[in-house]
Amino acid sequence: MKRPRHIATLLPVWAWLALFLFAPLLIVLKIAFSEAADAVPPYAPLLTAGGGLRLHASAAAFAQVLADPLYRRALGLSVRVAGLSTLLCVAIGYPMALAIARARPRRQGLLLILVMLPFWTGFLMRLNAWIGLLQDGGWIARALAWLGLVPAPPLLYTQTALYLGMVYTYLPFMVLPLYARLSKLDMALLDAAADLGAPPARAFLAVTLPLSLPGVWAGVLLVFIPALGEYVIPELLGGPQAQMLGRVLWEEFFANRDWPTASALAVAMLALLGVAALLGAAGRYALGLTRRGRP
């Protein structure tokens, strides 16, 4: 049983979560079960007091989200782009984090600064710089032309530009938790594996990779969750065909002023993230049971 002082310590955390997580979620749910109306705000009240308290809940917004192919395509595109961007960040970020963790202690600080250096510049300024690099006649197009690729393939407003922007933006969120985990790895375990005859590749697969999985999982969450609802990168680099959830939500909220449908789409996205988190936690738990069951 928890002591009163332990409960008192947790009260600020619970209050914070209730105020900034659960309360906004309840507001979004209330709008999602409302009906669109020509009013301010543009939805009908969920509860009315005329002639007694009455509940006017409607699941029409959720039915529209499930039935309309536009929303299904946006959801599928968002999952695909976020998933592939996360895999690319893992493939690129893991060697970077491992190299930083294995570097000399005096060099690790400099390497970490280089990883975090993009955060010293505004997000929109960095994306505008990518627009200048990827546009026709930009540095990358001129470099491709110098290599003999004439005419240079279009890069801006393509899937290539979209993934470049996603990986460039979210790569530090993968490198930092991986470095935090790999830097705490006991090198004596690798020495013991080498003494037992394991080659470097086998020692990496048997020692380094399993012990770094919590850092990989943390990086996956930090990249996949914001990438799923990304709006600015598809808008500036992806072109009109990059109709991800963030852009569709913006159009429904501000252009179409269909708040119930937009809220239902946001709830569907949160549910998808919840299912992904539960599956990942179940996988980690199963992996832990498998490792404990080894002789």
Secondary structure of residue 36 in the 3-state scheme: strand
Domain boundaries, the chain: 30-46+54-67+258-295, 82-244
According to DSSP H, which parts of the chain are helical? Answer: 4-17, 23-32, 60-67, 69-102, 105-116, 123-134, 139-146, 159-182, 187-195, 200-203, 209-228, 232-233, 245-250, 259-292
Beta bridge partner(s), residue 36: 43
Q: What is the pLDDT of residue 295?
A: 44
Secondary structure of residue 47 in the 3-state scheme: strand
Q: What superfamily in CATH does domain 82-244 come from?
A: MetI-like (1.10.3720.10)
Residue among 242, 215, 245, 216 at smallest CA distance from 228: 245
Cis preceding-peptide flag for 154 (omega within 30 of 0): no
Q: What is the pLDDT of residue 50?
A: 61
Write out the chain's pLDDT in tens, 295 residues.
456 677 778 888 888 878 888 888 888 888 888 888 777 778 877 766 665 566 667 788 888 888 888 888 998 899 999 999 999 999 999 999 999 999 998 899 899 999 998 888 888 899 999 998 888 877 887 887 777 765 667 788 889 899 999 999 999 999 999 999 999 888 888 888 888 888 888 888 888 888 888 899 889 989 998 999 899 999 999 888 888 988 898 888 888 888 888 898 888 888 888 887 777 677 666 656 555 555 4
Give the whole-angstrom CA distance, residue 254 versus residue 247. Answer: 11
Are 170 and 233 a contacting pair, CB within 8 Å?
Answer: no
Q: What is the pLDDT of residue 241?
A: 84
